[in-house]
Amino acid sequence: MRYYLIIVVVLVVGAYSCQKDDSKLPYGISKIYMPQAIQQSGGVNNQDPVPSGTDSSTYNYTLDAKDSQLDVILGASLSGPSAAAYTVGIQVDNDTIQQMLASGVFDTATYMLMPASMYTIPTSLTVPQGAGSGTFNVAVNIGALKAASLAGKYLLLAVSIVNPTTYSLDTALSTTIVVMNVNSLVIGPAVNITAQYVQNPGNPFVASSWDGTRWGTLVNWSVNPAAASHNGLGGYSYDGDGYTMDMESGWGSAQIYNGKVWQTVTLPAGTYGFDLSGGSWVWQGTLDPTYAVVAPGADSLPDYTNIKSNSAIDYQLIVNSPQPLVTWTLTGSTKVTLGVVIDYVQTEQGFKTSQVMLYNYPKHL
């Protein structure tokens, strides 16, 4: 009995010793992957939107003013416990982008393959021993980005790491799909400054007067007599769609000729964007051309007949989402009037928006 007890004790102690030693051992399989394939998408689609944020802590690119280029930051990293040096090749995979465009993953009306003439890319990346990870840049020509033909487009580029000298690739994360928003770069990553400057911007809108059933007038917004088409009220409504900025004619209401809703604010020097839709229309059913308008230096908006080709203002035609922003630049502190101008000749038309938004672009090309 004593003999068996000694054996049991030895085995228990031995097992404990092995367990203790095993706890000190590194675990995991070392593979090389691209962090940008997973940082934004969680590895679902390997997409890396550029820009990825609105402040310096979230930029995934840098600007090289000397060479007039924008450097998109990509890289390779090693999972697991090892730390030996390694080198990977770097390749562009245009076939993947073409297949995604052909299959409808990306809308060809807005998305396109980044032209090879716009960028340069290194052929390899070497990560030294102990570093674990390293970065490289896709250098994009800023002048080419500003081409008028690219306004409103998204440029696609698939970048892959290949042929590692050490370790093996995590094949699911060895390709990053760069999705470059041209407007957000050329105009700049947007910073929402609505609450700082716009009074009664919506979500919900507040009325200064209301008929008790539906129509009203907005607090802090001005309307001309034409817009006050609902028994002296207009620009605001409350119904099943909530508290909205609402301009409608027909369905028992009068036509609105040269109707205006506006607010005047004072802004410092900078580049700005005004979104009348607030990111998405509640309802957009305009039939006659209708304009979101910004008038720098003015106390009101021009008449409908003086909108098109007016160099003193900036404007965008109202369309279904996404609604283009009205953008403008100020060289000094300036009063700015922003709003909407309509001329509803046809009956039964209008729009509803739950909020408006004002953006600033502190970092733009």
Give the chain's domains with CATH numbers.
Answer: 31-186 (2.60.40.1740), 192-360 (2.60.120)
Inter-residue long-range contacts of 129-134, CB under 8 Å, 24+ positions, other chains counted: 129/83, 129/84, 129/85, 130/83, 131/83, 131/85, 132/77, 132/78, 132/83, 133/35, 133/75, 133/76, 133/77, 133/78, 134/75, 134/76
The tens digit of pLDDT for each residue in 157-173 reads 999 999 999 999 999 99
Q: Considering only CA atoms, give the Rg of the chain.
A: 29
Question: What mean pLDDT is predicted for residues 58-80?
Answer: 91
Q: How far apart are CA 56 and CA 288, in angstroms?
A: 43
pLDDT in tens, 114-159: 999 999 999 999 999 999 999 999 999 999 999 989 988 999 999 9
Nearest partner of 187 among 28, 33, 336, 54, judged by Cα: 54
State the pLDDT at residue 28: 64
pLDDT 10s digits, 182-235: 988 888 878 999 999 999 999 999 999 999 999 999 999 999 999 999 999 999
- pLDDT tens string 96-106: 999 999 999 99
Q: Are 184 and 322 in contact (CB under 8 A)?
A: no
Record the tokens describing residue 284, joined without a space: 């957009």
pLDDT above 60 for 23: no
Question: Is pLDDT above 50 for 244?
Answer: yes
Does residue 13 surpass a pLDDT of 80?
A: no
% residues pLDDT > 70 (the chain):
91
- Per-residue confidence band for 52, with pLDDT thresholds at 50, 70 and 90: confident
Counting beta carbons within 10 angstroms of the beta carbon of residue 129, is it exposed (0 to 12), middle (13 to 18) or buried (19 or more)?
A: exposed
Residue 340 — pLDDT band, cuts 50, 70, 90? very high
Per-residue pLDDT reduced to its tens digit, 251-288 = 999 999 999 999 999 999 999 999 999 999 999 999 99
Query: Out of 12-21, 76-85, 206-215, 271-280, which region has the weakest mean confidence (pLDDT)?
Result: 12-21
pTM: 0.64
| CA–CA dist 52, 39 (Å, integer) | 10
CA–CA separation, 60 and 205 (whole Å)? 36
218-226, Cβ contacts within 8 angstroms, sequence gap of 24 or more: 218/245, 218/261, 220/263, 221/245, 221/261, 221/262, 221/263, 221/339, 222/260, 222/261, 222/262, 222/263, 222/300, 223/259, 223/260, 223/261, 224/258, 224/259, 224/260, 226/256, 226/257, 226/258, 226/259, 226/260
DSSP 8-state assignment for residue 265: E
Residue 51 DSSP label: S
- Whole-angstrom distance, CA of residue 61 vs CA of residue 52: 9
Query: Span 59-68, mean pLDDT?
Result: 89
Closest CA to 311 of 327, 329, 295, 300: 295
Q: Is 201 helix (H, G, I), strand (E, B) or coil?
A: coil
* Chain centre distance of CA 170: 29
Mean local confidence (pLDDT), 326-355? 97
C-alpha 210/C-alpha 204 separation (Å) is 15
Q: Do 73 and 24 touch, CB atoms closer than 8 A?
A: no
